[in-house]
Structures are given as C-alpha cells and as structure tokens.
C-alpha cells in the first residue's frame, strides 16, 4: 500500500549545495517536493582573475553567496567539509572560504550541514572513492541534466550539486543510497528524480516573510 504524501512533504524545500574553493567555488540550488528534485541552477564562482589577493576572494565569495541567497531564498545550506591535505596554508585558505560561505547563510538565518567528501560520493554514486567525472556522470543520468560543454569548469559545479543531493537523501526522502539498492531504485523509478534545469526566475513565485 502506497501512503499519500503529507501536506508538509509536498511543500517545496530549497537546498543550496556548495563545494568550497579558493580559485573556483562550485554552487548548486535544488528544489525538493517529496521525492521530486528540480535543479534550479548549478555553476561556479570563478576567482582566478583576482590573483593571489585572498581577501578579495573572500569578499567575492560573500557577495556572490548573498546574491544567490536573495535570489533563491534557500531553506538550508549543505556544504562539503575541507579534506585534510599536506599543504597547511592551502587548508587554512580553504577553511576560510568555507567559513565565509557559511557566514553568508547564517547572516540570513539559514542553517547549514557539513558533509565529508566521501559521504557525498557514497550517497550519489554508491562509492566513496568515486572521481569527479563519475559523480558528474551519475548526476547527469539521475537528474537528466543537459550535456556539459565546459566539463573541467563544471566539475566543481556538479560536485556542489552532489552535496545538495546528498543532503536531500540524508533527510530520509530516498531509499538507501549506494550499491544495488540505489541501482534498483533508479531502474524501478526512471522518472522519479528526472527534472528540467530551471532558469533564474524558477523560484520567483516562492515567497518568504521578511526576517
């Protein structure tokens, strides 16, 4: 017996996913209604032209995140946790970039959750060791995304999309991800998560009361 979705489950939820970076930062915004996922946008914040001025990069991240928040009014932020690397200075800069993105959301009272890179990969592909290319390939199949012309650039964007989708899965809105159960779900429900990519005005009609 299939139980009908409650009125709460049918309400749209906007999730923003972020893949932190100091040169390229990926971001994605999805809308969730029950089991249905719509990709509103996924792109990157390119900071290469800012050179080595880290302060300017942090300012750019904060400003762009604020613009995205005002445009899409996300309910929650899902952000990838920095992975431990050999270069301590790089780790510190990456942590600052992540912190600025989080601060932009907290300034609008938007809660956030961190996910380890392996958790994100496991949730989306079934393997915690999946490559960026494999993650992007699975997302294109699952969400029916159009071909990506600038693949290297958009691997950061698809990583952010994976973080947002991972967060959706952790809320119990999907069967157990990974392995045979994930493949079986896709086989049994080929159109369950299919969704067209929406434009800038995808959430124009969605309103929230002023804080």
From the candidates 19, 31, 43, 159, give the one annotated as an active-site residue. 19
Determine the Cα–Cα distance for residues 26 and 28; give it in Å rounded to an integer. Answer: 7
Predicted confidence band at 7 (pLDDT cuts at 50, 70, 90)? low
Q: What is the percentage of the chain residues whose pLDDT exceeds 90?
A: 56
Residue that wins the pLDDT comparison between 210 and 80: 80
**Is residue 156 among the annotated active site residues?**
yes
Q: What is the percentage of the chain residues whose pLDDT exceeds 70?
A: 72
Determine the Cα–Cα distance for residues 53 and 142; give it in Å rounded to an integer. Answer: 38
From the candidates 31, 43, 80, 159, give the one annotated as an active-site residue. 80
193-207 burial, b for 16+ CB within 10 Å, e for fewer?
bebeeeeeebbeeee
Both tokens of residue 203?
């959430």
What phi, psi does 74 have (nearest 5°)? -65, 150
pTM of the model: 0.75
Q: Which residue has the tokens 């139980």?
A: 3
What phi, psi does 202 have (nearest 5°)? -60, -30
From the candidates 43, 76, 156, 159, give the one annotated as an active-site residue. 156
**Is residue 19 among the annotated active site residues?**
yes
Query: Quick one: pLDDT at residue 203?
Result: 41
How confident is the model over 173-181, as a mean pLDDT?
36
Count, residues in the chain? 211
Task: Check if the beta carbon of residue 196 is closer than 8 Å to that of residue 145.
Answer: no
Task: Check if the beta carbon of residue 200 is closer than 8 Å to that of residue 57.
Answer: no
Both tokens of residue 184?
């079986």
Least confident window among 26-30, 87-91, 108-112, 177-181? 177-181
Query: Quick one: pLDDT at residue 102?
Result: 96
How confident is the model over 59-71, as a mean pLDDT?
97
Predicted confidence band at 171 (pLDDT cuts at 50, 70, 90)? confident
Q: Is 77 helix (H, G, I), strand (E, B) or coil?
A: strand
For the segment(s) 10-188, the CATH number from 3.40.640.10, 3.40.50.720, 3.40.50.2020, 3.30.420.10 is 3.30.420.10
- pLDDT of 42 strictly over 80: yes
Task: Check if the beta carbon of residue 17 is closer than 8 Å to that of residue 27.
Answer: yes
Domain boundaries of the chain, sorted by first residue: 10-188
Query: Quick one: pLDDT at residue 157?
Result: 93
Least confident window among 75-89, 150-164, 179-193? 179-193
Determine the Cα–Cα distance for residues 66 and 62; give it in Å rounded to an integer. Answer: 6
């Amino acid at each position: 017996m299939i139980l009908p979705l409650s009125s709460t489950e049918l309400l749209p939820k906007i999730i923003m996913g972020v893949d932190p970076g100091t040169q390229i930062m990926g971001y994605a915004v999805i809308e969730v209604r029950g089991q249905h996922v719509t990709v509103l946008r996924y792109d990157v914040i390119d900071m290469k032209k800012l050179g080595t001025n880290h302060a300017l990069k942090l300012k750019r991240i904060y400003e762009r995140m604020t613009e995205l928040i005002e445009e899409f009014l996300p309910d929650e932020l899902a952000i990838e946790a920095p992975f431990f690397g050999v270069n301590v200075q790089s780790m510190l800069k990456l942590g600052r970039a992540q912190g600025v993105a989080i601060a932009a959301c907290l300034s609008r009272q938007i809660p956030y959750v961190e996910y380890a890179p392996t958790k994100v990969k496991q949730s989306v592909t079934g393997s915690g060791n999946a490559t960026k290319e494999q993650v992007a390939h699975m997302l294109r199949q699952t969400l029916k995304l159009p071909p990506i012309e600038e693949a290297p650039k958009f691997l950061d964007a698809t990583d952010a999309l994976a973080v947002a989708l991972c967060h959706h899965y952790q809320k119990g809105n999907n069967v157990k991800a990974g392995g045979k159960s994930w493949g079986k779900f896709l086989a049994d429900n080929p159109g369950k998560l299919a969704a067209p990519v929406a434009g800038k005005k995808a959430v124009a009609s969605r309103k929230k009361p002023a804080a």
